[in-house]
Amino acid sequence: RLTPKQKQFLAYLVQYIERWGHAPSFEEIRGHFNFRSYNTVSTYLKILERKGYIRLPKQKNKKRAIEVIKPVEASSFELPLLGRVAAGKPIEAIGDNLTIEVPPSMAQGGDHFVLQVQGNSMEEEGILDGDYVVVRKQPTAEEGETVVAIIDNEATVKKYYKRKGYVELRPAHRGMQPIIVKEGEFRIEGKVVGVVRYL
């Protein structure tokens, strides 16, 4: 079986080859996944070859000649469930090695994790109490994006707005006030890229 990251890697190769007719370069792979070195790219490729999913070219100068033998084996990825997040509390660990299955479209590019939301501060954004949010790890966000922010070791899910001299972390709930913080008083843990709900 492939790990979640190996599935992401293989899915990227498949999508790239389907679109362009050849495999991505090492530089494109490294950039897509924000890997620090080409060695990491090489390691993933060798693992996928060893597991029988791809065939690597014999000649080193033909790096784009990667062949996919078996496509991604499952229609979903398993991502680590790190814990619960509620307004004004630290991320509460739920247990060790718990995972949540998510569609591949929610886990493209970079590292991802899942948090369970407690409370209704984001209900007008379609994030309800008990939902699971899929978060891509990243330290920055664009205006209006939904982020997981850490303030004094306490986590919150809010919409991000940059103002002159401060940042506004706004709930999607008319009855709640935004959190106002200066740039150095918080950090962005990641951007919310999807919501999973179990009925």
pTM of this prediction exceeds 0.75: no
Give pLDDT, residue 49.
Answer: 92
Asked whether 84 and 114 are in contact (CB, 8 A), the reply is no
Judged by average pLDDT, the poorest of 13-22, 101-110, 124-133 is: 101-110
Mean pLDDT of 100-112: 79
Asked whether 116 and 198 are in contact (CB, 8 A), the reply is no
Give pLDDT, residue 62.
Answer: 66
Q: How far apart are CA 160 and CA 141, in angstroms?
A: 7
Asked whether 134 and 174 are in contact (CB, 8 A), the reply is no
> What is the pLDDT of the chain when averaged over all its residues?
86
Tokens of 102: 């998510």
Give pLDDT, residue 74.
Answer: 52
Apex CA 117: angle with CA 114 and CA 121, to 5°? 135
Mean pLDDT of 137-147: 95
Give pLDDT, residue 192.
Answer: 95
| Helices and strands in the chain: count of H runs, count of E runs | 3, 11
Query: Is 60 in the active site?
Result: no
Give pLDDT, residue 5.
Answer: 83
Q: Which domains does the chain have, with CATH numbers?
A: 4-68 (1.10.10.10), 79-196 (2.10.109.10)
R_g of the chain, CA atoms, integer Å: 19
Closest CA to 150 of 121, 190, 115: 190
- Name the pLDDT band for 73 (thresholds 50, 70, 90): low
Active-site option among 25, 37, 60, 121: 121
Q: How far apart are CA 121 and CA 85, in angstroms?
A: 11
Give pLDDT, residue 106.
Answer: 80
Give pLDDT, residue 159.
Answer: 96
- Read off the pLDDT of residues 178-192 as tens digits, 9 standing for 90 and up: 999 998 899 999 999
> 153 versus 64: which is more confidently predicted?
153
Active-site option among 158, 159, 164, 191: 158
Q: How far apart are CA 76 and CA 197, in angstroms?
A: 15
- Checking if the pLDDT of 172 tops 70, the result is yes
- Checking if the pLDDT of 42 tops 90, the result is yes
What sign has the CA pseudo-torsion 28, 31, 32, 34?
Answer: positive
Give pLDDT, residue 191.
Answer: 95
- Name the pLDDT band for 46 (thresholds 50, 70, 90): very high
Mean pLDDT of 151-180: 92
Q: How far apart are CA 89 and CA 151, in angstroms?
A: 9
Q: How far apart are CA 160 and CA 16, in angstroms?
A: 31
Query: Is 63 in the active site?
Result: no
Asked whether 100 and 114 are in contact (CB, 8 A), the reply is yes
